[in-house]
Amino acid sequence: MADLLIRNIKGLVQVREAGIYRVAGKAMSELPVIEHAYLYLKDGLIHAYGSMNEDPGIHAAEEIDATGRFVFPSFVDSHTHLVFAASREEEFVMKIKGASYAEIAAKGGGIVNSARKLQQTSDDELFERAMLRAHEIIATGTGAVEIKSGYGLTTRDELRMLRIAKRIGRETPLTVKTTFLGAHAVPAGIAQPDYVKLVIDEMIPAIAAENLADYIDVFCEQGFFTVDETESIVEAGKRYGMRPRIHANQLHRSGGVQVGVKTGALSVDHLENIGDEEIEALKKSTVMPTALPGAAFFLGLPFPPARQLVEAGLPLAIASDYNPGSAPSGNMPLMVALACIKMKMTPEEAINAATINTAAALELEHTHGSITLGKVANVYITAPMSNIAYMPYAFGSRVVDRVILHGKSI
Ligand code: NIG
Ligand code: FE
């Protein structure tokens, strides 16, 4: 019997009864904490928890004393592109010298550059490089992650990316959900309408035949894919059981949010460029608005209007967007810090956004995102700290001290 008891926890964070699957509006500021707590994990699941004052009388094969430390449910990172061949720091330097994201893309940099590199990299190399990133995000507290394709841009290479993403799920303790993002950019040498047709007629059926993708995504943006193309592509994915999630409103008010609402997307992600119309559309839907503060920070874009979204009564999720072009970090404590510092979210709101709400966005609400009886035993123990606000305050510091996934110390 594999079991683990954590005792003398200064604060057990995000404790929820079963049945609470996402938080919105004012409820985002409530983060339930049990002070001076214990947590008992057994057979990979959360088995019991409570106050140390009601002595549980439990003993376990492994026991950890967490005096002075907090225990949080692992982060759920609902938006990454962590399978890629190579970093792109040369573009980073171009950006420092004044080039915009769109200008770099127009010069054959950007996504197409990553695709060229990926096409020349073997499966084993790609897997090894992605594994390093997977271990890196495990160490900073992530327990479940969404991984997109979109740096293949040929049927063969999109399939390769998704197989590698699935393999990460098999060979690490991470729970992995996969998303087909063939419509990330149009590669050189093919006309836009022909590429859209290739995505719909060839890629989607091939991916579905191997059951490689849970979701379908489109980069709905000027210079990438139009609203109409987005709609046709995600409707085609839906016919094969892939629910949509959309890259929406990153660089322009592209109509991405509205097409996400119209097609029943699980989430619309980015939202740097939204206003009242997009907020009104979101209010009539169950789509999870998702901010990617690392990308806004790295590209120097305006941050999504978190206060306006929350004050409109909406939920908000936060993910990393880990990718080589716009967000070369999958560090979720840093994303929480950016959400607090740049988007004026409170620490409680930001932690809800990065746990329970991202779990909902990945349809993992029954198993991840909170300390709830029967959920997967994915938690981390912090460094000693006096208050949960220390995490975003001490941005860039190592606050995640010890990681436990499926009830096992990593
Ligand atoms: O989410 N916006 C589109 N895709 C990525 C960036 C991709 C890249 O530049 O490689 C993003 O920011
Ligand atoms: Fe992205």
The predicted-structure confidence for 289-304, as pLDDT tens digits, reads as follows 999 999 999 999 999 9
pLDDT digits (tens, 9 = 90+) for 139-180: 999 999 999 999 999 999 999 999 999 999 999 999 999 999
CA of 307 to the centre of ligand 2 (A): 22
Find out whether 38 and 371 touch, Cβ atoms under 8 Å: no
Atom of ligand 1 nearest to the CA of 110: 9
pTM over 0.75: yes
Which protein residue's CA is at the shortest distance from atom 11 of ligand 1? 326
Element (H, E) at 322: none
d(CA 403, CA 410): 6
Residue closest to 401 by CA, chosen among 173, 141, 142, 174 = 141
Does residue 399 sit in the same domain as residue 253? no
Does residue 230 sit in the same domain as residue 113? yes
Pocket of ligand 1 contains residue 324 by CB under 6 Å = yes
CA of 321 to the centre of ligand 2 (A): 5
Task: Look up residue 254 and give its two tokens.
Answer: 């592209």
Pocket of ligand 1 contains residue 295 by CB under 6 Å = yes
Atom of ligand 1 nearest to the CA of 219: 3
User: What is the arithmetic mean of pLDDT over 258-269?
Assistant: 98
User: Residue 128 half-sphere exposure, CB side, CA atoms within 13 Å?
Assistant: 5
Pocket of ligand 1 contains residue 219 by CB under 6 Å = yes
Confidence of residue 225 (pLDDT cuts 50, 70, 90): very high
Which protein residue's CA is at the shortest distance from atom 3 of ligand 1? 219
What pLDDT is attached to residue 218? 98
- Nearest ligand, CA 185: 1
Does residue 237 sit in the same domain as residue 345? yes
- Whether the pLDDT of residue 101 is over 80: the answer is no
Pocket of ligand 1 contains residue 249 by CB under 6 Å = no
If you compute the radius of gyration of the chain from its CA atoms, what whole number of angstroms results? 21
- Whether the pLDDT of residue 25 is over 90: the answer is yes
Atom of ligand 1 nearest to the CA of 269: 1
Does residue 329 sit in the same domain as residue 373? no
Pocket of ligand 1 contains residue 293 by CB under 6 Å = no
Does residue 205 sit in the same domain as residue 237? yes
Does residue 115 sit in the same domain as residue 198? yes
Confidence of residue 32 (pLDDT cuts 50, 70, 90): very high
d(CA 244, CA 324): 23
Does residue 124 sit in the same domain as residue 244? yes
**Of 148 and 54, which is predicted with more confidence?**
148
d(CA 344, CA 338): 9
Find out whether 235 and 261 touch, Cβ atoms under 8 Å: no
Phi first, then psi: what are they for 165, rounded to 5°? Answer: -60, -45
- Whether the pLDDT of residue 1 is over 60: the answer is no
The residues pairing with 205 across neighbouring beta strands, listed in sequence order, are: none
Q: Which domain holds residue 208?
A: 76-361
131: left (phi over 0), alpha (psi -120 to 50) or beta: alpha
* Cβ atoms within 10 Å of 125's Cβ, excluding its own: 12
Tell me the CATH number at 9.
2.30.40.10
Pocket of ligand 1 contains residue 326 by CB under 6 Å = yes
Q: How many domains does the chain have?
A: 2
Helix axes 123-139, 155-171, angle to 10 degrees: 40
* Cβ atoms within 10 Å of 30's Cβ, excluding its own: 10
What pLDDT is attached to residue 103? 84
Percent of the chain with pLDDT over 70: 100
Does residue 313 sit in the same domain as residue 282? yes
Percent of the chain with pLDDT over 90: 94
User: What is the arithmetic mean of pLDDT over 117-121?
Assistant: 97
Pocket of ligand 1 contains residue 298 by CB under 6 Å = no
Q: How does the average pLDDT of the chain come out, rounded?
A: 96
What pLDDT is attached to residue 403? 98
**Does residue 205 sit in helix, strand or coil?**
helix
CA of 219 to the centre of ligand 1 (A): 8
CA of 190 to the centre of ligand 2 (A): 23
d(CA 10, CA 33): 10
* Residue where a domain stops, chosen among 361, 378, 393: 361
Does residue 24 sit in the same domain as residue 137? no
Tell me the CATH number at 170.
3.20.20.140
pLDDT digits (tens, 9 = 90+) for 331-358: 999 999 999 999 999 999 999 999 999 9
Does residue 152 sit in the same domain as residue 174? yes
Which protein residue's CA is at the shortest distance from atom 12 of ligand 1? 326
Does residue 50 sit in the same domain as residue 155? no
Does residue 166 sit in the same domain as residue 288? yes
Q: Which residue has the tokens 């950006």?
A: 95
Atom of ligand 1 nearest to the CA of 325: 9
